[in-house]
Structure 1
Amino acid sequence: MAFRAYGEVQQRTAGPKEIELSLFRQITEALEAVAAVETPPLEAWADALYRNQQLWTIVATDLVNPDNTLPEETKRNLVSLSQFVRQCSNRVLAGNDGIADLIDINKSIIAGLSGIPVSTVTEEAA
């Protein structure tokens, strides 16, 4: 109950960038937790992938919104990246790929939103 109340307060006080950053961190942590286990529980594995796909769908939807003020090239690149995430997720679901690429992509986004070099974020994972 207290956690829910804290989440509601955070939603009212955090800006869009902070919320987006928090979501990317939470979902990336879930992907990393699944990747760290040789045979993760199917429910945790599916949930992590599903949440990541949801997040990227929301990001792509926001990017094509006419009110989005990002530069056009940035929007195009991120929409393309969201399509790659969808394709990569489908390969993972088919058993043809691991989730390392998804984790790396999310970490790059986290770095960008945080204003830190991508190499710093990926080195922390090593």
Structure 2
Amino acid sequence: MAYKAYGQVTQRTATGRALEIAVFEQITQALQTVHDNNGENPGEWGDAIHRNLQLWSIIAADVLSPENALPSETKAGLFSLSEFVRRTSMQVLAGADGLADIIEVNRTILAGLDGSASSVEQEVI
């Protein structure tokens, strides 16, 4: 109970960037857990994918907003990633592989948010 209260206070006081990082970390960890467990718990599996889809739907809506101040190339890239995640998620829900790809996208975005994108690029190359 105290942990929930602390989490609520943290959400209200965190900076935008810190909150983005926390959300990506939480959702990516949930995806990794269900991936590691080979989808043994269908409820957790479906919930993790659904929460990730919600996150990427919010990102897509945000980058399409005229008030979004990101450079056009960045917005286009994020929108493209959101579509990739959406399509791949639907395939995963239908039984195809692809969960690892979704996790990789989230980790790459997370690395960019926390400033370690250059190290991720080096790992991929």
Query: Which digits, 9 at most, give the CA deviation of each residue in 1:43-99, with x for residues without a partner?
Result: 010011000000000111111112111101100110011001000001101112230
How well do the aligned residues superpose, as a CA RMSD in angstroms?
A: 1.8
Aligned to 2:18: 18
Do the aligned partners of residues 122 and 54 (structure 1) sit closer, same or farther apart at CA in structure 2, a change above 3 Å counting? farther
Give TM-score, length-normalised by structure 1. Answer: 0.90
- Structure 2 portions without partners, runs of 5+: none
How far does residue 122 in structure 1 lie from its aligned partner after superposition? 9.6
Letter of the 1:19 partner, please give it.
Answer: L
CA contact (8 A) 2:108 2:120 kept: no
Q: How far, CA to CA, are the matches of 1:70 and 1:79 in structure 2? A: 12
| 1:89 and 2:86 matched | no
Q: How far, CA to CA, are the matches of 2:121 and 2:31 in structure 1? A: 15
Give TM-score, length-normalised by structure 2. Answer: 0.90
Aligned to 1:109: 109
Letter of the 1:10 partner, please give it.
Answer: T
Equivalent residue pairs, number: 123
Q: How far, CA to CA, are the matches of 1:67 and 1:8 in structure 2? A: 27
Letter of the 2:100 partner, please give it.
Answer: A
Aligned to 1:51: 51
